[in-house]
Amino acid sequence: MNANYDKQDLDPELLQRKIDIILDLEEDLIFILNKAGLITKVNSNGALTLEFKEEDLQNRHIIDLIASKYKVETMKAFNDIIGGKPERAFEASFYSYRGIEILFGINAKPLYSNGKMSEIVLIGKNITHLREITDEIENLRMKLIEANRLISIERQRANQHKSLLEELNKIKSEFVSNISHELRTPLASIIGFSETIDSDPDMPDEMKAEFNSTILNEGKRLARLINDVLDISKLEGGGIDIVKFKFNVILMLNEAIEAHVKSAQAKNITLSWELPEEEILIDADKERISQTIGRLLNNAIKFTNEKGRIKVIAKNLFNEIEIIISDTGIGIPETDLPYIFQKFYRVSRPGTEIPGTGLGLVFVKQIIDLHKGFITVQSEVGKGTTFAIKLPKNHI
């Protein structure tokens, strides 16, 4: 014992009073338990926190006051101390007098008397509030993680949107430049040839007729282009009406092929066809179907080199008519095939100047769709391309 200790320090009564004052002043919960777990002492603030009178807690078993989910852990800690552990920390909720759970962080230590463990001292810090705060922090942390996740999804979406807009913008600029070029070329020849005719009154009739025919063709080309653009915007706005009536599709095909014989001949392309003898009636919009075939034939001629071949085949199937247009042209690369029915999509072929707007096949696909038909394409670069259309004979 420390030599500086006063004699009165050893006075047991005084010592007891000191301990009582300390216990009274202590804000935390203090229990002294006997080896059976019964409460032999509780400090006044501890009892107050639990809304009990001190005497009501005397001799109660500690486990009776503990909330059920903490009973096992408390028993374990109790047994550890009994078993000789010098200290044990654990958490447990106590029921207050009114049955409210109060969470304590508890430290337990054994008390020895004559070398034998006689009692256990528990000091509990009320951590209910702290736990509420940490729970709230955890809750906010989870919300923050979720918010960050949503922000990153939104950011990704915004980036995708941005690149989509950039892509659309690029497509739009390309379209504007294509269409300006497409409009300017026929206009330039119309103006050029008209001026030549106008400035030369002595021009031979033959030459004049040839120039006039060029002006007419270029004028038609212009009209076709403008119609394309109008058709597509009408189709997109849902403003196109399909006027269906029964007609002989074989006759229509003959007329469409006939209309392209000249331009095929101009490129030395052999245009042949294999059509059923019998008439085949289908319930469809004759004008639109004829335009569709016309566009496919135009493309076939446009993308087939001199001395190539184009063949149109029609097959009379049970409920459908199949129309196949194949050419021995330049073909479409496999990587471009999925996109050719998209608006303004044009296969990039550097070094070749084949005019176009990337609208023709959009129109074709939309018309076939409106008739509940199918269009498929097969192609091989340098070998040729085959478009196959299936149209229901009767209105579905």
Q: Which residues of this protein are in contact with ligand ADP, per CB under 6 A?
A: 299-300, 303, 327, 329-332, 340, 345-347, 356-362, 385
Query: Which C-beta is closer to ligand ADP: that of 78 or that of 175?
Result: 175
Q: How far apart are CA 30 and CA 124, in angstroms?
A: 6
Query: Which C-beta is closer to ligand ADP: that of 21 or that of 266?
Result: 266
C-alpha separations of 147 from 192, 212, 336 in Å: 65, 70, 40
In sign, the C-alpha dihedral spanning 134, 140, 142, 145 is negative
Nearest-approach distance from CB 383 to ligand ADP, in angstroms? 10
Buried b (16+ CB within 10 A) or exposed e, 71-110: eeebeebbebbeeeeeebebbbbbbeeeeeebbbbbbbeb
Query: Which C-beta is closer to ligand ADP: that of 273 or that of 345?
Result: 345
Query: Which C-beta is closer to ligand ADP: that of 102 or that of 359?
Result: 359
Query: Which C-beta is closer to ligand ADP: that of 244 or that of 267?
Result: 267
Nearest-approach distance from CB 210 to ligand ADP, in angstroms? 27
Nearest-approach distance from CB 327 to ligand ADP, in angstroms? 5
CA geometry: angle 327, 333, 336, nearest 5 deg: 110
Query: Which C-beta is closer to ligand ADP: that of 320 or that of 327?
Result: 327
Four-CA torsion 151, 157, 161, 164, nearest 10 degrees: 150
**Phi-psi group of 356: left, alpha or beta (phi > 0 → left; psi -120 to 50 → alpha; rest → beta):** left
Task: Tell me the sheet residues that pair with 120.
Answer: 33, 110
Query: Which C-beta is closer to ligand ADP: that of 46 or that of 331?
Result: 331
Residue nearest to ligand ADP (CB): 356
Nearest-approach distance from CB 274 to ligand ADP, in angstroms? 18
Nearest by Cα to 366 from 171, 224, 232, 265: 232
Nearest-approach distance from CB 342 to ligand ADP, in angstroms? 9
Q: How far apart are CA 121 and CA 46, in angstroms?
A: 13
Buried b (16+ CB within 10 A) or exposed e, 41-65: bbbebbbebbebeeeebeeeebeeb
Nearest-approach distance from CB 262 to ligand ADP, in angstroms? 18
Contacts of 363 by beta carbon, 8 Å cutoff, 6+ apart? 228, 231, 232, 235, 291, 292, 295
CA geometry: angle 148, 153, 156, nearest 5 deg: 125
Nearest-approach distance from CB 218 to ligand ADP, in angstroms? 17
**H-assigned helices in 321-386:** 360-370
Task: Tell me the sheet residues that pair with 33.
Answer: 39, 120
Nearest-approach distance from CB 174 to ligand ADP, in angstroms? 11
Nearest-approach distance from CB 349 to ligand ADP, in angstroms? 7
Query: Which C-beta is closer to ligand ADP: that of 292 or that of 385?
Result: 385
Query: Which C-beta is closer to ligand ADP: that of 298 or that of 316?
Result: 298
Q: How far apart are CA 20 and CA 38, in angstroms?
A: 19
